[in-house]
Amino acid sequence: MFKTCVKCGIEKEYDDFHNETASEDGKKNVCKQCVSDNNATNYYWEKTNPESYREHMFSRKAYVEQAHPGVKYETIKKWMYKRGMRIGQCSRTFIDEQIQKRKAENAK
């Protein structure tokens, strides 16, 4: 069985994906390699430039709280990780789109 990683776009074997019970096929959408790259990048950023990292985290969190009351920033982070996005890639547009999508789904 093969699955395509949403981040690197490479088709890999199921064993190359971490398990995720919440997903449809029981696997993450992002391959193990991308997950570890992702963690390393965030870790590196936090270590080398803690001020910019914290500032980014803070401004995104403040934006979510202000523009979308009732939505937790932690939830947004989970959506990002599912797509293999890095913290720095989380734009306001992405946040707005995702929240709108969830609202539309809930309204069904």
Rounded to a whole number of angstroms, the minimum distance from the CB of residue 65 to Zn ion is: 32
**99 forms part of the interface with Zn ion (CB under 5 A):** no
Task: Give 40's contacts (C-beta < 8 A, 6+ positions apart).
Answer: none
Rounded to a whole number of angstroms, the minimum distance from the CB of residue 79 to Zn ion is: 17
Phi, psi (deg, nearest 5) at residue 18? -70, 150
Calculate ∠ Cα 36-40-46, nearest 5°: 150
Question: For Zn ion, what does the binding mask look like between residues 18 and 57, x meaning CB under 5 A?
Answer: -------------x--x-----------------------
1-10: burial string, b at 16+ Cβ within 10 Å, e else: eebebebeee
Rounded to a whole number of angstroms, the minimum distance from the CB of residue 93 to Zn ion is: 23
Residue ranges that bind Zn ion, judged by CB under 5 A: 5, 7-8, 31, 34
